[in-house]
């Protein structure tokens, strides 16, 4: 699965998991297994607020673009995310939603 991101300032982070051709976004499953080689599923046909593109299957892989939510203090890796190629099933690590809070003197 090849995932490209479009960063967008939002208050809710995204959790992402892959199980075969199923993408699980914040607990909601989207099954792209019926998509045949070379076919395109229009974004409007998928009731998913995180989806930012049509979904295609090319060379056996699902290709799509997702909105990558971030806070006002997002790090550069989140504001300019690299595309991901996901080959294994399980949770997908995403760029940080927010930059870590700087430690103040006296914190451990």
pLDDT of residue 80: 94
pLDDT of residue 103: 60
**pTM of the predicted model, to two decimals?**
0.88
Extract the tokens encoding 49: 């607020």
| Spatial CB neighbours of 24, under 8 Å, sequence gap ≥ 6 | 15, 16, 17, 18, 30
Extract the tokens encoding 24: 């699980």
The span from the CA of 106 to the CA of 34, in Å, is: 56
pLDDT in single tens digits along all 108 residues of the chain: 999 999 999 988 999 999 999 999 999 999 999 999 999 999 999 999 999 999 999 999 999 999 999 999 999 999 999 999 999 999 999 998 988 866 655 555
């Amino acid at each position: 699965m090849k995932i490209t991101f479009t960063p967008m300032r939002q208050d809710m982070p995204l959790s992402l998991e892959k199980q075969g051709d199923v993408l699980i976004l914040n607990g909601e499953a989207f099954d792209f297994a019926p998509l045949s080689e070379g076919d395109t599923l229009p974004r409007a046909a998928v009731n998913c607020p995180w989806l930012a593109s049509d979904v295609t299957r090319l060379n056996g892989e699902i290709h799509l673009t997702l909105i990558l939510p971030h806070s006002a203090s997002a790090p550069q890796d989140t504001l300019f995310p690299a595309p991901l190629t996901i080959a294994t099933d399980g949770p997908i690590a995403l760029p940080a939603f927010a930059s870590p809070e700087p430690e103040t003197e006296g914190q451990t």
